[in-house]
Structure 1
Amino acid sequence: MTGGSGRAPTGGLEAELAQRDAAAGRMATSLVELDAHPAHALLSAGPLTGRTAREWDGARADLAGLWRDFDTYRQVLGAARDALARAGSAGEAELHRLLHEPSIEVGRAVVERRLTGAVERIESITLGELADRMEAAFDRVHELFVAVHAGHERFLAAIGPLAERLRTGRELAAELGDPRTAELTARVEELTARYTTDPLAVADAPPDAALAELAARVDTLTTDLGRAAAARDGWQVRLAGVGPAIAEVEAARGAAEQVRLRAQELVVTAPLDPPPESAPALRGVLAALTDGRLPSGRGWPARARALTDLEADVHAAAAEVRTAHALAEGLLERRTELRGRFEAYRAKAGRLGIAERPDLLALDTDIRRLLWTRPADLAAATRALVSYQRLLAAGESAPGRPA
């Protein structure tokens, strides 16, 4: 907006009036654009809070004063054009008064009351001062509009994608029977209400941290809902796969139990715990899921979690059975390994011609007793084998050994 004060150009009062008329046209354009600013509609539309409400109170008065001052400005220019049209010194004097002298009344106050009436003080300014006052008011209002618009757009840009993800999540949650979006929706509405009624707060107290925390919660929930939807869509296939998996666990447990019993029969060992018998409990949970009976929770997210937990429990039970089987099988394999090593040592002793030495024969008898009787003492057999190996190594390096 350009109106500014200034002295009449050298070309005379008529040229100055033309400049003032041109300035009035620019003022009109600026005021119309200011009135149409998006922030004006935002500020005028609904309730405001906080700093925005306080600053709009002053700016609204400035804006109303701008239009009044503009109307006064145009009226003075109209009177100046009338004075210019009148010939003679009187018209020129009036034109000079209107353009240069404090001819515009902007305030009136009673300063004294007398018997004959009140004495008033009248405040008047020149046309140029009026233009300067308008310029200052315009700058204040425009600056507020720019700040409000920037804050509003920044907040919408931040919360828009989040709100859209939550909207999609609400639709999926409604399908799945999950009520958890209600709290997040209320939080989004709370932030929206705060920062749309006080856009200046976006700069004063940025919502970045709150939005980041909320976005993380929305993403977690939508991911969970996605998993629940996937579980719903693949429910029958996954459910059908659990029964055979439980049967495999049960069969593996039977095999592990046989190996355990055989290991305890053939090997000296501390009592081996039987493999956990988890199949009945797992089948109970499977039956509850198949029949739609859940221990807790409602809707597909709860069903999806229950099925995932059941699959994990089946996997864990299979791992426990494998561990128990491997422990017992390891004892039997160790017995077979020690027997094989002993036979290899005896064969070597025979090749060296020392197999019938009394010390080796004594160990031979002990090792056979330890490994070929039930139950085999693997620990004692291992120690005896070590002794046999040492004697064999010493006999191999002894002088006079047969070639």
Structure 2
Amino acid sequence: MNREEVDRALARLGAERDAVEAALLALQDHPGRRLLEGAALSGRTQERWAVAEQGLGLLWSLFDRYSEALASARAVRARRGRPGSAELAELSELLTGASVTVSGGQLPDAAGRLGAGPARLVERVGLDELMERMNGWYAVVLEVVNAVDAVWSALPARIDLLLAELGRVQMLALSVGVRPGSHPLADDLAGLASELTALRAEVLADPLALWRPSRVPAQRGTAPEAPAPASPTGAVDTTGFDRAGRQLDDVRVELEGLLRLRDESHERLQQVGDLLQRADATLAEARRARGEVLAKIASTEVPAVPGPASALRERIVQAVEFQQTGQWHRLGPLLDTLEDSAAKELARARHSLTEVAQPLAVRAELRGRLEAYKAMAARRGLAEDPVVVERFEKARWLLWSAPCDLRAAAEAVARFQQALRAPERHPGQQDIQDGQGE
């Protein structure tokens, strides 16, 4: 090497030495490294930190050898302003040759195996190779501490918050009578508590079990293809945490529904009672109408009126008992069923009334039509016509007699209508269509 090459090499190696020192000091103060040193580790994290911790100690040792070798080269260069051939030869050996002595077995081979090959007490390597191996170990250590720090920054605090929320939900469950062994929601909450506690313990002891790297982790002692990243390349696996959060949300929604039920149960039970009272009143009206139909309508088959829903009332008594004893998780589905059954009971009563009172409705409709045709006769000047009067009286007598023959009455009303339409009874007039089919 000539003098210019030596000076450039010294400047480059000095800059690299300063960069390594800054990186090692930053690594020494890394929060992930400080947490790892005092943690009780297990599993994958324990295995990888055992390697990385060994690499961290080795890094400082190699850095010291590197710094000593660089200092020696600088001392040789400082002897003379214009070094002679002897100094240049010595500097070439120091800067490019295997001039650094390290303890045997401290340097791994390319596959990451410590002490590969025949055992030796000491080993000599060059500065460039030494820098390459330091970069490899630095990548291993940095990847571990970055990943651990990412997991510990992401999960423990969130798990603690979720556990606190779980405690509040459990208190809510107790307030609505949901207790372990008596309701599946309480069992779900107990299972979530166990799951989150186990997840928190796993995060603290083996954070790398929840780390998903985006590339294959660096092997010990192998230099990365690119400079070591300052941030972790991967993602924290929050699948278990997210699933537990969703389950807790689902349970909370159900419990809030029970809480609303507790606040609304009295009003809802009253509404069920009101529906049944209306159904009873409607059935009573249907029975009265049935008696009237039997008394006033001839030759009519009248369906029987059903009795009150006694079984439904027994279930209402059970619902009141659940309400008084705070068994909201049992009251909820029962009350839903009662509301549906009470609505159906009212609909059944109304249908029965409509079916029973149908003959009376037909009679009322015929009476209305008869009165409308009577008014039409007066407008046409036929109120004194003997045929019209005779047919009107016949229809009126049939409709207002008891029992009423609906079939004969309908025929009489139709004959009365026909009398109003007869051409000879209102010559010169067009058939008047209004009122027809009424």
Bucket of the pairwise TM-score, normalised by the shorter protein: 0.5 to 0.7
Q: Aligned partners of 1:144, 1:386: CA distance in 2, in Å?
A: 101
2:311 to 267, 272, 281: 281
Aligned-pair CA distance for 1:398 = 5.8
CA 1:399–1:243 in structure 2 vs 1: closer, same or farther (change >3 Å)? closer
Q: Aligned partners of 1:18, 1:204: CA distance in 2, in Å?
A: 36
Alignment check: 8 A CA contact 1:342 1:385 kept: yes
Per-residue displacement from partner, 1:168-187 (whole Å, max 9, x unpaired)? 33221123232313235525
Matched, 1:132 2:129: no
CA 1:27–1:126 in structure 2 vs 1: closer, same or farther (change >3 Å)? farther
TM, length-normalised to structure 2: 0.63
Alignment partner, residue 114 of structure 1: none
Alignment check: 8 A CA contact 1:367 1:385 kept: yes
Alignment partner, residue 37 of structure 1: 32
Q: Could you list the runs of 5+ residues in structure 2 that have no partner in the other structure? A: 109-114, 214-233, 431-438
CA 1:82–1:317 in structure 2 vs 1: closer, same or farther (change >3 Å)? same
Alignment partner, residue 188 of structure 2: 183
Amino acid in structure 2 at the alignment position of 1:306: L
Aligned-pair CA distance for 1:345 = 1.1
Alignment check: 8 A CA contact 1:276 1:317 kept: no
Alignment partner, residue 227 of structure 2: none
Aligned-pair CA distance for 1:68 = 0.5
Alignment check: 8 A CA contact 1:59 1:140 kept: no
Q: Aligned partners of 2:235, 2:412: CA distance in 1, in Å?
A: 84
CA 1:214–1:70 in structure 2 vs 1: closer, same or farther (change >3 Å)? closer
Aligned-pair CA distance for 1:139 = 3.5
Q: Could you list the runs of 5+ residues in structure 1 that have no partner in the other structure? A: 1-6, 112-118
Residue 271 of structure 1 aligns to a residue whose secondary structure is coil
Q: Aligned partners of 1:363, 1:156: CA distance in 2, in Å?
A: 97
Alignment partner, residue 272 of structure 1: 303
CA 1:385–1:79 in structure 2 vs 1: closer, same or farther (change >3 Å)? same
Within 5 Å, give how 1:344-359 maps onto structure 2: 344-349=372-377, 351-352=379-380
Q: Aligned partners of 2:321, 2:343: CA distance in 1, in Å?
A: 22
1:254 to 277, 284, 295: 284
Amino acid in structure 2 at the alignment position of 1:186: G
Matched, 1:193 2:175: no
Aligned-pair CA distance for 1:340 = 1.9
Amino acid in structure 2 at the alignment position of 1:272: P
Alignment check: 8 A CA contact 2:59 2:137 kept: no
Alignment partner, residue 223 of structure 1: 253
Of residues 335-344 and 7-16 in structure 1, the stretch that sits farther from structure 2 once superposed is 7-16
Alignment partner, residue 231 of structure 2: none
Aligned-pair CA distance for 1:67 = 3.2
Matched, 1:395 2:423: yes
Alignment check: 8 A CA contact 1:43 1:56 kept: no
Per-residue displacement from partner, 1:251-290 (whole Å, max 9, x unpaired)? 4432332123223433454422314412x43443333344
CA 1:380–1:100 in structure 2 vs 1: closer, same or farther (change >3 Å)? farther
Alignment check: 8 A CA contact 2:279 2:350 kept: no
1:25 to 6, 10, 21: 21
Alignment check: 8 A CA contact 1:266 1:375 kept: yes
Q: Aligned partners of 1:39, 1:362: CA distance in 2, in Å?
A: 116
Within 5 Å, give how 1:201-220 maps onto structure 2: 211=242, 215=246, 218-220=248-250
Alignment partner, residue 74 of structure 1: 64
CA 1:340–1:134 in structure 2 vs 1: closer, same or farther (change >3 Å)? same
Of residues 361-370 and 153-162 in structure 1, the stretch that sits farther from structure 2 once superposed is 153-162
Q: Aligned partners of 1:96, 1:343: CA distance in 2, in Å?
A: 132
Within 5 Å, give how 1:57-206 maps onto structure 2: 57=47, 61-62=51-52, 64-78=54-68, 80-81=70-71, 97=93, 99-102=95-98, 103-105=100-102, 106=107, 108-109=115-116, 124-143=124-143, 166-178=166-178, 179=183, 180-183=185-188, 185-186=190-191, 190=195, 193=199, 196=203, 198-200=209-211
Aligned-pair CA distance for 1:21 = 4.6
CA 1:122–1:234 in structure 2 vs 1: closer, same or farther (change >3 Å)? same
Alignment check: 8 A CA contact 1:263 1:329 kept: yes
Q: Aligned partners of 1:100, 1:313: CA distance in 2, in Å?
A: 95
Q: How many residues align?
A: 380
Alignment check: 8 A CA contact 2:65 2:101 kept: no
2:331 to 291, 303, 323: 303
Residue 37 of structure 1 aligns to a residue whose secondary structure is helix
Amino acid in structure 1 at the alignment position of 2:285: A
Of residues 319-328 and 83-92 in structure 1, the stretch that sits farther from structure 2 once superposed is 83-92
Aligned-pair CA distance for 1:302 = 0.9
Q: Aligned partners of 2:124, 2:318: CA distance in 1, in Å?
A: 90
Alignment partner, residue 339 of structure 1: 367
Of residues 167-176 and 304-313 in structure 1, the stretch that sits farther from structure 2 once superposed is 304-313
Aligned-pair CA distance for 1:28 = 1.9
Amino acid in structure 2 at the alignment position of 1:322: R
The percent of aligned pairs where both chains have the same amino acid is: 25
Of residues 355-364 and 222-231 in structure 1, the stretch that sits farther from structure 2 once superposed is 355-364
Alignment check: 8 A CA contact 1:166 1:185 kept: no
Q: CA RMSD in A?
A: 5.2
